[in-house]
Structure 1
Amino acid sequence: VVKYGKWLVAAGAVGMNVLAARDHNRAEDVFGALEARCSDDPRLCDLGDGGAYLDPGTEALYQQSVGYDRRARRWLIGGETALLGAAAMFVWELTRKTHRPDNIPFEPEVRSLRNATGVGLRLSF
């Protein structure tokens, strides 16, 4: 599970961060349209007592921008959580005990000697 699951979780993290970037860009585009609307006719951006825009079209653009930002935040939190999970799985795989495979035909042997390094070869039949 850990051997392949870490790659699946890492791919999920990348995917969620890509979706977060997409929704963030959409929020920026909608907010840019809102700013352009306010520049063209400042009366469209008058605020009511509750803090909402009085013009329904302007309020709709603002709510759409906020909605995309919320979605981007959720994707980003999910992506970062998945990234932490993948990192934990990588560390877990590196630290768990594994047995030596039986199919190694030869194993080099290196020893540190006093004035030299010894190199040898061991063959299994």
Structure 2
Amino acid sequence: MIIFDHLISETDQPEKKDTYIPDGDFEGFKWLNGQWVHVNKVFDFKLEDGGFPKEATILDDAGNIDEKQLEEAYNTLGSLQAHPQVQKFVGWIATKPPGFQPTSPRYRGKET
């Protein structure tokens, strides 16, 4: 796919091509059935001003588990296993011996 900025006239004068600026959307062309097909809007989401794209997380901004996010997005084993943070944890815990107990002060003395 070839992706490029969608342009609009900054001064509301579309006949003056030198007034065109990116509006934050993207359009493009994708190869389909042996020819290039125009895609008017490549992405179907909009970021808030100052926002940036990021992966879905199971922690809120304060670092606490977001129960609502877990309930809505990770309610199957497959979706939970596909989450990057879960994959990272599974990879880490797989390197530990059977019966592993964490030594971090955060976990000392807690029953499992």
Task: Tell me the TM-score range normalised by the shorter chain.
Answer: under 0.3
When the two structures are superposed, what TM-score results if normalisation uses the length of structure 1?
Answer: 0.21
Q: Which has the larger radius of gyration?
A: 1
When the two structures are superposed, what TM-score results if normalisation uses the length of structure 2?
Answer: 0.22
Higher helix share: 1
